[in-house]
Amino acid sequence: MKLKDLLVNVNYTVINDINPEISDIIYDSRKVFDGTAFVCLKGYAADGHKFAEMAVQKGATALIISDELDFEVPQSIAVIKTDDTRKALALMSVEFFGHPDEEMYTVAITGTKGKTTTTAMIAEIFEQAGIKTGTIGTLGIVYDGKTVKTDNTTPESYEIQKSMRDMINAGCKAMVIEASSIGLKHSRLAGLNFDVGVFTNFSDDHIGGVEHKDMAEYLYCKSLLFGMCRFTAANIDDANWKEITKNSSSPVLTFGFSKEAELVAKNDHLLSDNGFIGVHFETEGIKTLNVDVGIPGKFNVYNALAAIAAVSFFDIDDSAIINGLKAAKVKGRVEPVTVPGNYTLLIDYAHNALSMENVLTTLRQYNPNRLITMFGAGGNRPKVRRYEMGEVSGKLSDLSVITEDNSRFEDVMDIIEDIKTGINKTDGKYVVVPNRKEAIRYCIENAQDGDIIVLAGKGHEDYQEIKGVKYHMDERELIQDILCGR
């Protein structure tokens, strides 16, 4: 594709008026090859302009810049100057990959909490309706049974556009993305036109440092999404919903427990039955449904409402909504694993005291026979985290099974002793099983009817880091090995 065809929606001035054929768009100078356009991004730690000369030496035929360069660019190299190279990268990527958003259903979700879970719920509803779906978010780029790991909840614009094209090539007809405030701030979603934008909630987070200078900027960045969507759905029970959705080009569909909402939740209660734990609720308004959600915690009623509201803009049968919400799960987030006994086995990413406290407090509401927490702590991290995790588990668990996590360059037994320091501040019972697989085996072999067992710390991770080496280790596989007698 010719350079100027990629720039059709970019505001720019020409420095070197050359219009080469572009083989790819690159923003990491290490990946430059012959015929590429190199976009100079200014990041927190590095400035792409400093690598422009290297990019030319490696074969780049075009440079997209916002600042002056400190070397003389050959006349054979196109140089384009624009005020915002991040936005330029996004708009160029849209053209390079052929506007993939025009070929699939697209839903974007923003909010402080609930993005990952709501994304999973919407994707499962689409799948239940026979619509193959890909997702982009905290867990990576997920489609067609594979996961591509990403550095950010909302990846760089090029990765988003490429992934959408790859999803289409794999047969996907829908894409659901977590739209983070940082991603919106840095134009990673620029050029996209979403069918639906969803607002979950807003609270204090991501303030300071390299993120947002204050709550006003945080809110403003989230509001940017709704100028990019045909339709909008928002949580009416959040006091900020009107301000965040003020850019919406269509009337906002509201959801919540408030009777003023267009989709209202009522009669919610916790569910626990033969290993299944979740929450039940009913809806009235634009949808009249009886829903069982297969993810524990009453707060998931809001996530489910957000999912129902989002898919209501498409031709989706109610049965797909009901089946999707019951089947939906988030990898590594209170993720249920099927076991033959009458107990519940969950995998969760909780790897600090706060996240552990949140999970265990939620699970306590289900009144289990016993709440058993298996966990370790990361090596080469502050010891206070270990003390705190031990203390939280000791207070909230009926039994703690202390084991290994990513021990890195520390001795596992030293880490365990630190955890015991915290747990010994409580009356909590515990056992020590240093090998993680054997700790899981202990939990399974000693499970009683009505127990809830949480394997905490690894979640979606599929590795264990020991002395600088990451070894493959997926707890789902370990569980199957144990159940098969291996």
CATH of the domain at 105: 3.40.1190.10
Q: Whole-angstrom Cα distance, residue 355 to residue 348?
A: 10
The answer to whether residues 280 and 365 belong to one domain is: no
- Burial of 76 per CB tally in 10 Å (0-12, 13-18, 19+): exposed
Give the 3-state secondary structure of residue 273. strand
Q: Pull the structure tokens for residue 293.
A: 């959600």
pLDDT tens for each residue of the chain, 486 residues long: 999 999 999 999 999 999 999 999 999 999 999 999 999 999 878 899 999 999 999 999 999 999 999 999 999 999 999 999 999 999 999 999 999 999 999 999 999 899 999 999 999 999 999 999 999 999 999 999 999 999 899 999 999 999 999 999 999 999 999 999 999 999 999 999 999 999 999 986 655 666 676 888 989 999 999 999 999 999 999 999 999 999 999 999 999 999 999 999 999 999 998 788 999 999 999 999 999 999 999 999 999 999 999 999 999 999 999 999 999 999 999 999 999 999 999 999 999 999 999 999 999 999 999 999 999 999 999 999 999 999 999 999 999 999 999 999 999 999 999 999 999 999 999 999 999 999 999 999 999 999 999 999 999 999 999 999 999 999 999 999 999 999
Pair 116, 333: CB distance under 8 Å:
yes
Q: Which residues contact 245 (CB under 8 A, 6 or more apart)?
A: 199, 223, 226, 232, 234, 252
Q: Strand order of the sheet with strand 430-432?
A: 335-337, 344-348, 452-456, 371-375, 399-402, 430-432
- Burial of 239 per CB tally in 10 Å (0-12, 13-18, 19+): exposed
Measure CA 238 to chain center: 21
Tell me how far CA of residue 368 lies from CA of 72, 229, 297, 363, 440, in angstroms: 70, 43, 14, 8, 19
Beta strands in 200-275 (DSSP E): 229-235, 252-256, 263-273
The answer to whether residues 136 and 11 belong to one domain is: no
Q: Which range marks the domain in which residue 73 is found?
A: 3-96
CATH number of the domain encompassing residue 69: 3.40.1390.10
Q: Whole-angstrom Cα distance, residue 347 to residue 444?
A: 13
What domain count does the chain have? 3
The answer to whether residues 343 and 203 belong to one domain is: no
Q: Whole-angstrom Cα distance, residue 291 to residue 322?
A: 6
CATH number of the domain encompassing residue 435: 3.90.190.20
The answer to whether residues 298 and 403 belong to one domain is: no
Q: Give the domain-ending residue among 327, 361, 384.
A: 327
The answer to whether residues 146 and 283 belong to one domain is: yes
Q: Give the domain-ending residue among 302, 327, 352.
A: 327
Give the 3-state secondary structure of residue 30. helix
pTM for the structure as a whole: 0.92
Pair 304, 237: CB distance under 8 Å:
no
β-pair partners for 456: 348
Name which of 68, 7, 17, 15 is nearest 40 in CA terms.
68
Q: Which helix (H) or strand (E) holds 453?
A: strand 452-456
Q: Which helix (H) or strand (E) holds 215?
A: helix 215-223
The answer to whether residues 339 and 469 belong to one domain is: yes
Name which of 139, 168, 170, 136 is nearest 155 in CA terms.
136
Name which of 125, 112, 96, 199 is nearest 153 in CA terms.
112
Other C-beta atoms lying within 10 Å of the C-beta of residue 259: 10
Pair 101, 76: CB distance under 8 Å:
no
The answer to whether residues 88 and 53 belong to one domain is: yes
Q: Whole-angstrom Cα distance, residue 290 to residue 284?
A: 10
Q: Give the domain-ending residue among 68, 96, 124.
A: 96
Nearest 5°: the CA angle 154, 198, 222 is 55
The answer to whether residues 141 and 287 belong to one domain is: yes
The answer to whether residues 148 and 9 belong to one domain is: no
Pair 151, 182: CB distance under 8 Å:
no
The answer to whether residues 149 and 296 belong to one domain is: yes
Q: Which residues contact 387 (CB under 8 A, 6 or more apart)?
A: 418, 419, 421, 422
The answer to whether residues 322 and 358 belong to one domain is: no
The answer to whether residues 51 and 30 belong to one domain is: yes
Q: Which residues contact 74 (CB under 8 A, 6 or more apart)?
A: 56
